[in-house]
Amino acid sequence: MLVLTRRPGESIRIGSNIVVRIGRIRGNQVQVSIEAPDTVCIAREELIPQAHVPKRSRETREAMP
């Protein structure tokens, strides 16, 4: 897992065609904008049924405090 620190207005590039941009930070909420091709599925994790989350992702999430 890669952990990065970003400030509002800064971005992270994933590959050549995905950009994650940090919007505003208000209290414990962060506004995130994601630019990706239409072929890339983007969804909030809590909306995806457990059966569709890869096993490694479930193990990592369960290990987090």
Query: Could you report the per-residue pLDDT of 12-64, keeping only the tens digit for each?
Result: 999 999 999 999 999 999 999 999 999 998 988 888 876 555 655 555 555 55
C-beta of residue 40 within 8 angstroms of C-beta of residue 18: yes
Among 57, 59, 29, 32, which Cα is nearest to 45's? 57
Residue 46's pLDDT is: 86
Residue 62's pLDDT is: 54
> Backbone dihedral region of 18: left (phi > 0), alpha (psi from -120 to 50 degrees) or beta?
beta
Beta bridge partners of 19: 13, 35
For residue 58, the SS3 value is helix
pTM for the model stands at: 0.68
Residue 27's pLDDT is: 94
Length of the chain, in residues: 65
